[in-house]
With several copies, the nearest count.
Chain A
Amino acid sequence: MDGYYAWMIVATALVLMMTTPALALFYGGMSRSKSVLNMMMMSYVSLGIVGIVYVLWGWSMAFAGDDVGSLFGNPFDAWALKDVPWESYIGGVMFQMTFAAITVALISGAIADRVKLSAWVLFVPVWVTVCYFPISHQVWSTGVGFVSKHFGAQDYAGGTVVHINAGVAGLVLALVIGKRVGFGKEPMRPHNLTLTMIGAGLLWFGWYGFNVGSMVFLEGDGGEKDIAQFMSETGVTFLNTTIATCAAMLGWLAMERILHGKATSLGAASGIVAGLVAITPSCGAVDITGAIVIGAAAGVLCAWAVGLKFKVGMDDSLDVVGVHLVGGLVGTLLIGLFSTADAPGGIDGLFYGGGFGSLGDQAAAAGWAILWTGVLTTVIAFAIKFTLGWRVTEEAEVEGIDSDQHGESAYDLHSGLGGGTTAPSTSVLAKHTVTEGVNA
């Protein structure tokens, strides 16, 4: 089994790489140049905080601690990994930690350009503790967690736990925190699509750790059966993840072509992510047909969904709802239709003669996650709103949150006599003072 173990070292590092820098780039490129650094910081800080929190009490609440009413584990049982064997540090603790980190980081896209760093630093640990750890316990503590026990829904790598979860939280925060100054009036176009393209590519790369690394052994004794399962099941999840993503990219581009006449690179990047989101819960449940259909459906539906926010007038800035909630639901629910007993999951969905059972389970699981996170995130959001406060001043937002919150600007592309752009860079023309002892 050291082969499987070697894979899990890589898989864990890959998922960590998804938050920093991949997601930070994907989001950063879509924000304005005056707020790209703040956008990236939200991802980096999420990982920084969750990395510590998960080791202290996250693992205990999600898996190791004694179950409390099928809702979560006792945070103190395995506090700071007490009595947790080194063998499960990587495939267990660290692998799961990276999921928690990226889930909360995903939320940041909904509230771009307007949130105080301090508010975010407060939100991250509270939210993962109240929303993420419990849901991952409820869904993934097989036979123990609430969802697993009552609905036995399939969620291979986190359709409910990660994407619906983050999507709902993003929806709530976008509503509670409100729109950016000038939303719907001023242009808020992506400032650097090359960053978004890099981010999408690296997310795709890292997602193999995410999905293919999420295999659970049937035997778990490290024997022949486990190895055989490793060498066959991962083939299915890898292939499904790949073709669903390809189908979603093409689906999004086709939809754009129909709706707006042109297929865009932002559409390709977005389609990739939408497909990866939708195949996340379903990569172990469906066959090739199912994977292609789920991917294509996610691409088409998300491409349509991202336009809705302007209608309802909600500033879900980088479409966490349109991509992660919608994509997560597509993947979670379509399992009910396309799940097949010939796939590792071993359950037949409606179209494979399995009746409505699976569909019902999937819907129930999704509904429960939406309910739990919807309610609790609302409480957290208002609590912060009426205490610390979420938003930077309106002037700071107009001038740019990078300058206000971090005292930085992302670019200084003036290049003196060296050619290239000779745009007036304010800082180049600036007076530089090294404040003696500023650090003393």
Chain B
Amino acid sequence: MKLVTAVIKPHKWEDVREALEAFGVTGMTVSEVSGYGRQKGHTEVYRGAEYDIALVPKIRIEIVVGNDDADDVVGIIVKTAQTGRIGDGKVWVSPVDTVVRVRTGDRDDAAL
């Protein structure tokens, strides 16, 4: 099994979800995170004090998939989340020994 972790721009989430759904991904876990990288944040001023907001909001998606699907899933995410502007994000794949569905105890492919 593989774990695909994607960090993308928030407004791309909806498209990515639909694309993955279409591909057959039945589930994922999503969280909002803050990203630090080439894309710069913005500045706020309160009563003469300037605050340089270094981080930019991102959406983080975790998907456990079978070994064979990993590449396709990565490809779909990259295709859909791409705007071509700095800050589009990253996707990485890491190995998973096993995955279990809590409801049933099923393991691995049966768990997805």
Contacts and interface: CB of A to CB of B under 8 A. Distances in A.
Taking the complex as a whole, does A directly touch B, i.e. does some CB pair lie under 8 Å apart? yes
Contacts of B44: 189, 403, 407-409, 419, 427
A259 B48 contact: yes
A429 B54 contact: yes
A233 B75 CA distance: 74
Interface string B41-82: 111111111111111110100000000000000000000000
Interface residues of A, number: 42
B34 interface: yes
A43 interface: no
Interface string A160-173: 00000000000000
Interface residues of B, number: 27
Contacts of B45: 256, 260, 262, 264, 407-408, 438
A248 to B, nearest CB: 15
- Give the secondary structure class of B's interface: strand
Interface string B88-99: 000000000000
Among B44, B49, B55, max chain A CB count under 10 A is at B44
Contact of A424 (B33, B46, B49, B51): B33
Contacts of B51: 187, 189, 427, 430, 432-433
A433 B30 contact: no
A259 B50 CA distance: 12
A260 B48 CA distance: 8
A429 B14 contact: yes
Nearest to A400: B42
Given A426-B55, A430-B53, A408 B48 contact: no
Interface in A415-440: 416-417, 419, 422-435, 438-439
Interface string A305-337: 011001000000001001000000000000000
A417 B14 contact: no
A398 interface: yes
Interface string A392-406: 000000100001000
B11 to A, nearest CB: 6
A426 B47 contact: no
B32 A306 contact: no
Contacts, number: 104
Given A417-B10, A422-B32, A422-B57, A430 B48 contact: no
A259 B49 CA distance: 11
A425 B10 CA distance: 11
Nearest to B31: A424
Given A424-B31, A432-B51, A433-B50, A417 B43 contact: no
Contacts of A187: 51
A57 B8 CA distance: 54
Contacts of A260: 45, 48, 50
B47 to A, nearest CB: 5
Given A266-B47, A429-B14, A417 B56 contact: yes
B47 A270 contact: yes
Interface string A251-273: 00000100110101011001000
B43 A429 contact: no
A419 B48 contact: no
B62 to A, nearest CB: 13
Contacts of A424: 30-34, 55
Nearest to B59: A429
Which of the listed residues A190, A259, A407, A422 has the most CB atoms from chain B within 10 Å of its own CB? Answer: A422
A116 interface: no
A310 B51 CA distance: 13
A149 interface: no
Contact of A432 (B13, B52, B57): B52
Contacts of A428: 10
Interface of A: 187-190, 256, 259-260, 262, 264, 266-267, 270, 306-307, 310, 319, 322, 398, 403, 407-409, 414, 416-417, 419, 422-435, 438-439
Given A426-B41, A426-B57, 7 more contacts: A260-B45, A260-B48, A264-B45, A417-B56, A427-B51, A430-B53, A439-B48
